[in-house]
Amino acid sequence: MIEISARVKALPDYPLAEIPGIKRRLVESGMDVIDLGAGDNDAPPPSIAVEAMTEALADPAYSKYGFQQGLPAFRQAASDWVERRFGKRFDPVTEILPLIGSKDGLAHLPFAVVNQGDVAIVPEPGYQAYLGGALLAGAEPHVAPLRREHDFLLELRRVPEAVLRRAKLAFVNYPNNPTSAVATPEYLERTVAACRRHGILLAYDNAYCDLTFDGYRAPSIFEFPGAAEIALEFFSLSKSFSMTGWRLGFAVGRAELIGALTRVKSYVDTGPFLAVQRAGAAVLDRADEVVGPIRKELERRRDAAVPVLRKAGFVLESPKAAMYLWVALPAGVPSAAFARRALEETGALVLPGSAFGPAGEGYFRIALTTGPDRLTEAARRLGRILDATRREELATTA
Ligand SMILES: Cc1ncc(COP(=O)(O)O)c(C=O)c1O
């Protein structure tokens, strides 16, 4: 008998793990499935990326190990992009690290800073790689619930002092997945200050920084005083550029912290494929041009779906950023049962709030990953399930 480790047993089921299987079964049975589950936009990757990748594939030099250093041109493009975008300069060699998607960096980060039993503060609902990475590294996760009444902000001042004293790491993510909440400058300033006071590494996940609407601009954590000492920031090419499967992102921060993460990764992987880094550099150099139309289309989808969902009886905000609608369910309707029913009876695939941790209960998430017509069709189907749920509830209480 091989005994599976306590750390692996402690991992909750990964939220997206069972969905592809159910979807396949329904599609095979002839169901018209509208997949609004994973945050995987339907836009094709930029032609700039495809062309650069094609060229790189023809050059055998790009087929070699990249190691953690990777492609100097990618480091340079990432550094230039951060400077253009946020006005902050980071050394491409020592203060930037290419990642196999930002998930790679976020999930491996706890290994760099936590010792057995140290606390890692994770938002809930939240991207599950934070919790998984913390558990695998032997940290004790402290779950910080994100609540509507606090604008879905992870407030360190609500974390007990005794926990803050044991905390080594806090994951903070705005624009947020799954709530699409954004952070105010005051919030980011006080969060940086709290991390400095308690010696907590602030892992700022900025995967959605360029998917912003209505003129909103998402800042870098490094725009706030003192952040350079205690923060690492994580960027992704997946969402802004529709390159989820290419697996490319990067971390930014001071050399000692980047160095520690580099050391961890040098034992577990050999860096992103160099040809992908070549493509990533090409895209970052022309980022505005590429992300503009993606941002506009997401805004169009949001504006199409929100009114239809509201008309169907749902309560939700119209988000300023990211690519999700975070939709409240009536009290007492379990999100997993609602999502399963919506999928099996109507083919509308959404993620239950509970998939992002128990504090996500009472909501479901719609990813704006398909065009306005299909989105509004899905919204109507979800509305039918909401009506049916309410009718049944009335019948049982009558
Ligand atoms: C909040 C957040 N951070 C990070 C990631 C990881 O992105 P990637 O690994 O594709 O760069 C995701 C992906 O869904 C996300 O939602």
Give 235 Cα–ligand 1 centroid separation in angstroms: 9
Question: Are 191 and 299 part of one and the same domain?
Answer: no
**What's residue 20's pLDDT?**
79
**What's residue 398's pLDDT?**
64
Question: Are 225 and 147 part of one and the same domain?
Answer: yes
17 is in which domain, residue-wise?
A: 6-44+289-397
**What's residue 392's pLDDT?**
83
**What's residue 391's pLDDT?**
84
| Residue to substitute in 131, 177, 180, 232 for testing ligand 1 pocket (most ligand atoms within 8 angstroms of CB) | 177
Question: Are 169 and 183 part of one and the same domain?
Answer: yes
Strand order in the sheet with 140-145: 96-99, 249-253, 231-236, 201-205, 167-173, 119-124, 140-145
Strand order in the sheet with 315-316: 315-316, 324-328, 363-367, 351-352
Give 238 Cα–ligand 1 centroid separation in angstroms: 7
Question: Are 75 and 147 part of one and the same domain?
Answer: yes
Q: What confidence tens digit (pLDDT) does each residue in 183-193 have?
A: 999 999 999 99
The CATH number of whichever domain residue 362 belongs to comes to 3.90.1150.10
Give 376 Cα–ligand 1 centroid separation in angstroms: 25
Question: Are 153 and 197 part of one and the same domain?
Answer: yes
Is the pTM higher than 0.85? The answer reads yes
Q: Indicate the residue among 265, 287, 309 that finishes a domain.
A: 287
- Which residue ranges of the chain lie beneath pLDDT 50? none
Give 84 Cα–ligand 1 centroid separation in angstroms: 22
Q: What confidence tens digit (pLDDT) does each residue in 14-42 have?
A: 666 677 788 899 999 999 999 999 999 99
Q: Chain-centre distance of CA 222, in angstroms? A: 19
**What's residue 15's pLDDT?**
61
Residue 114 is given by DSSP the state P
**What's residue 16's pLDDT?**
63
Q: Indicate the residue among 287, 309, 334 that finishes a domain.
A: 287
Give 332 Cα–ligand 1 centroid separation in angstroms: 30
- Site of tokens 């504090």: 359
Q: Is there an atom of ligand 1 within 6 Å of 39 CB?
A: yes
Q: Is there an atom of ligand 1 within 6 Å of 233 CB?
A: no
**What's residue 394's pLDDT?**
72
Question: Atom 14 (ligand 1): residue with closest C-alpha?
Answer: 39
Question: Atom 5 (ligand 1): residue with closest C-alpha?
Answer: 103
